[in-house]
Structure formats: C-alpha cells, structure tokens
Amino acid sequence: MTNLIADAEQELKTKREALNLRWYPRYHLAARAGWMNDPNGLVWFDGWYHAFYQHHPYSPEWGPMHWGHARSQDLVHWEHLPVAIAPEGPEDKDGCFSGSAVVDGDTLVLIYTGHKFHGDTDNEDNLYQVQCMATSRDGIHFERQGIVVDTPPGIHHFRDPKVWREGANWYMVVGARTGNTGQVRLYCSADLRQWVYGGILDEAETGMGFMWECPDFFNLGDKRVLMFSPQGMTAHRFKNRNLFQSGYLVGDWQPCQPFIRSGEFVEMDHGHDFYAPQSFLTPDGRRIVIGWLDMWESPLPEQQDGWAGMLSLPRELSLGVDNRLQMRPAKEVESLRQAWFPWPVSSLNNQQINVVENAVAMEVVLNWKSADSNAEQYGLSLGDGLRVYIDAQMQRLVLERHYPHHGLCGTRSVPVTLDRDLHLRLFIDSSSIEVFVNDGEACLSSRIYPDTERRELGLFAWSGYASLSDGGAWQLK
C-alpha cells in the first residue's frame, strides 16, 4: 500500500466515526466518508462485482480525485475495499479521473484519465489529460503502469475512457472537447498498451453540448448504443432541464466503419439527479448500468454531515420496439425485500390518506387505474417536501421536490397515457427516490432531504377521485 493510499485509509477511518447518518443511504452505495461522484470501472472479476468511483477521502467537497472501491456478489450488498489508486504520479498528480475496467486473462485492468496541469491551474491552456493504466491480480491491490494514450495535439479536455473487447481487438472511446464542440474519439489496441487512433466516432451538432463526458459504447439487441453525458445542452420546455444531462444515441456500427445514428439524442433519466452512467455485462449476459445520483453545481446538504454523493441502483437495459432505451431495476434488487405491507386503499376522493408513518427504506408499488380516475392531481407524498403525482391536465407524471431551506425546489416530469393503467415502482432511501414507470418506459431519480420527524407517506387525490387496483410497499433491508 502506497503512502497516499495509507493516508487516505486512515483519514476515512477517522471521518467515518464522525458522520451524521440522518441522510446516509441505507441500501445505495456511498463512500465511507468524504466525496463521491462518477462510477468507474464497473466489472465482474474473479467471482465479484467491482464498483470503483471518483472519490475525495479528505473532505465532502470535490478535490484531487482518488478511486474508491467496493465489491459485491449480488450488486446490492457492498463491501468497502481500500482506495484503489491515488494521484501520486507525474501523469495524474492533480487527480485520477474517471475510467473503466476490463478483465485480461487473470488480470484486472483499470484504464483511467490522469489529470495534470503544467503551470498555473487557473489557465486551461496548461491542462493535460492522458489515459493511464493500473493492473491487479487479486482485484484489490493495483500496480500503476503509466500513460497508454497521450493528449492529442491541441486538445485539453480528453477524459473518461471506456474500454471493451470485440473480436481479437480492444477498443476505447474517450470524451473530448474541441472549441465548443463535444465529441467521442475512438482508439484500437491488440494488447491494451499500444493504442491506434481510429478517428471521431461521433460529435455534437449545434445545441448538443460543448463537452461529451463519460462515453460508453455497447451492443443492445441488434443496435449499437452510444451513451454519454453532454455538458452545455440548452433546456427546451420539458427537455434537458438539468444543468448537465445523461443520454444516448442509437445507431449501427462495425469496427473500422463510421457510427451511423438512427435517431436523436434521448435523456436516460428525467429526474433532478442522474449523471455519468456506466454500463457493464453480468456473467449471464445482462447489460447493467449504474449512475451518479447527484448533479454538478447543485446544493448538497449532506456535505455538512461529512459525506456527499451516492450511486444509483443497478438497472438492466433493453431496447424497446421503437429503439428507446428501457431501464428496470436489476432483479438482484428484489433480494432487499422483507415484509410486504398492502395498503387498504382502492379509491380517494378529494383527500389525502397517510399509509406509512416513517418511510426510510422502502420499495413502493402503485397501480393507478387512470382511465377510471378524474382527479386533476393524484399520487404519493413524502412529508412536506416530495410529491410524485399524475397531473391529468398536462398528462404528465410529475416529481416535485420542495426543500427551500436547502435551495432545492422544482419539478421534473414525463408524459403518460391516461387511457390505461399506470404502473409505478418507487424506491425510497434516506435521501433519494428512484421512480420506474410502466416497467421501463421512463425513470426519474432525485435526491430528497426530509426532516427526520417528517417522513410520513401519503396517497392523495385532489379535485376529483382516483382509483388504485394495487398499492403497497416492501420494507427493504
């Protein structure tokens, strides 16, 4: 263990004992203490799922990035491991930024961005981002291998490599910025060490962002999906309401051929907080994605408690008949279920009924009979700060959070069809909610900050009546 990693481990041990756990997640993965952002290096290796993440162990503020590390055998119960890599070389002295992991024989290989300034850190002309490698035989202790892809001439933002194997070759996509245009660059290698530039896989058109972060490129069905997080997209009506987005393009691609889009950019998650998703394959061939359940430049009230950031639940991806990405909670999430509590509510008429006194770690299932409902608004509330409801006049499902004392207020929404039943699965944790609509049609994820004594869960219908065919909750361990 290097000195920097040993220092980080000691700092985490000390800070962990001082955390305020009021909003610390019960079943989402978060750092032991300090700061967490993007998931990195999601991979199955030697009998374990590994999740690495951007991490600053010394404070709950963003700082020189390390790679935090946890592992699991079921994607939901995580064991924290020592910090994997720290910014201790000339190639990454100002931070070990995001990247990915692959298995090469009996070796776990991390490919990540080394972040460094040559001179004044306030001048981006001095910024250089390079792609680096670290390897491990046991999946815990890593040996640094240095730079494998240097900064292209004239480029300063060049980060977040995602690596995969296809046929006899390895491929890598890297997010980049040229001027005010975001792009994804492609590289090819036979051995993970010597890489050949394969050109620009895709790049932004007007309005599609000045930087494309955290690219991912994978097969789904008979299509290719380019998933990335664009910075600088302009909001329009209900679209692109967050400061930064996460979404995808669907198309066709063969090695050594251009990527041909077959549709427009589509957001993956329509809540307030979902960024930098990364995908990986399970041993049984499912494509799973996990994202950062937070948003840049947004208030983070948990920082006062000694930690910041968490990862989303694992979600299984599929493509619908319209080539739209569908996300469902991975089947492993069901292993968290304990007792089932059905709610004896089949209809509401201009009223609210409390169904749970203290909702902390729950999976809620609601089947609204929308065609038999005429209320203007009907749905679920948590305390006085969160509502998830159908607005019949707008024909949208709305997630509304209202925490003015934390500077977090606003709505996010998706369109719904009200001539058929509306099925919702809602995962409530100490400071988050993830809403899955109609078995994968849409998803909304947001952070929430209810007061400890105001976590009652209620059902409501206003200006009319609403009908339920089923409603209840699992307590989650």
202 and 226 Cβ atoms separated by less than 8 Å:
yes
Distance in angstroms (rounded) separating the CA atoms of residues 436 and 14: 37
User: Residue 283, Cβ neighbours under 10 Å: how many?
Assistant: 8
DSSP notation for 41-80:
EEEEETTEEEEEEEEETT-SS--S-EEEEEEESSSSS-EE
Picking from 119, 117, 137, the residue whose alpha carbon sits closest to that of residue 127 is: 117
Is 38 designated active site?
yes
Distance in angstroms (rounded) separating the CA atoms of residues 340 and 338: 7
Tokens representing residue 120 in the block = 């004044």
Strands 247-252 and 223-231: antiparallel
In what helix (H) or strand (E) does residue 446 lie, and over which residues does it extend?
strand 442-447
Q: Is 336-476 the same fold as 3-329?
A: no
CA torsion sign, 75 to 76 to 81 to 86?
Answer: positive
Picking from 417, 407, 461, the residue whose alpha carbon sits closest to that of residue 438 is: 417
Low-confidence ranges of the chain (pLDDT < 70): none
Which amino acid does the sequence have at 170?
W
Distance in angstroms (rounded) separating the CA atoms of residues 229 and 207: 14
Tokens representing residue 81 in the block = 């491991």
In what helix (H) or strand (E) does residue 426 lie, and over which residues does it extend?
strand 422-429
- Fold of the domain spanning 336-476: Jelly Rolls (2.60.120)
- Among 7, 38, 94, 470, the active-site one is 38
Picking from 164, 196, 46, 12, the residue whose alpha carbon sits closest to that of residue 99 is: 164
Tokens representing residue 164 in the block = 């995969």
> Which residues have C-beta within 8 Å of that of residue 223, sequence separation ≥ 6?
250, 251, 252, 262, 319, 323
What does residue 232 show for φ and ψ, rounded to 5 degrees? Answer: 95, 20
Helix/strand/coil for 302? helix
Q: Give residue 93's pLDDT.
A: 96
Tokens representing residue 285 in the block = 């061939």
- Burial of 4: CB neighbours in 10 Å, binned 0-12, 13-18, 19+: middle
Q: Where are the domains of the chain?
A: 3-329, 336-476
> Which residues have C-beta within 8 Å of that of residue 240, sequence separation ≥ 6?
233, 234, 267
Strands (E) in 260-385, as ranges, are 260-261, 266-267, 275-281, 287-292, 307-308, 315-319, 325-329, 337-342, 347-356, 362-368, 377-382
Beta bridge partners of 338: none
Domain 3-329 bears CATH identifier 2.115.10.20: yes
From residue 21, how far is each of 18, 158, 467 by CA, in Å?
9, 37, 37
Strands 260-261 and 275-281: unpaired
User: Residue 115, Cβ neighbours under 10 Å: how many?
Assistant: 22
Which amino acid does the sequence have at 76?
V
Tokens representing residue 311 in the block = 């990862």
User: Residue 57, Cβ neighbours under 10 Å: how many?
Assistant: 26
Q: Give residue 180's pLDDT.
A: 94
In what helix (H) or strand (E) does residue 5 lie, and over which residues does it extend?
helix 3-16
Report DSSP state, residue 160.
Answer: E
